[in-house]
Amino acid sequence: MKIQPFTLVLAVLFQFLSGTAFSQKSAALNSLLDKNSEFIFPQTTDKISKALNAKAVFYEDANGEKYAKWLTKSGLELYTDLGGNNGINEMFFDIPDHKPLIVNGLPYGLVMNKTTLENAKLQFKKYDAKIQKLDDGSEFPEGTKLIFKRGKHFTTLFFDNKNLLKSIGITTELVDPAAN
Instruction: Give, in order, the Cα–Cα distances in Å from 46 to each of 57, 83, 145.
Output: 12, 14, 31
Residue 115 domain-assigned? yes
For the entire predicted model, the pTM comes to 0.83
Residue 12 domain-assigned? no
Residue 17 domain-assigned? no
pLDDT value for 18: 43
Domain residues for the domain of 149 are 24-179
42-67: string of b/e by CB count within 10 Å (b at 16+)? ebebeebeebbebebeeeeeeeeeee
pLDDT value for 5: 56
Using CA atoms, how far apart are residues 42 and 131, in angstroms rounded to an integer?
A: 27
Going from the first residue of the chain to its last (180 residues), give the mean pLDDT of each consecutive group of 10, the final group possibly shorter. Answer: 52 45 76 92 94 94 93 95 86 92 96 97 96 92 95 96 97 68
Cβ atoms of 169 and 153 closer than 8 Å: no
pLDDT value for 76: 95
pLDDT value for 84: 73
Residue 60 domain-assigned? yes
Q: How many domains does the chain have?
A: 1
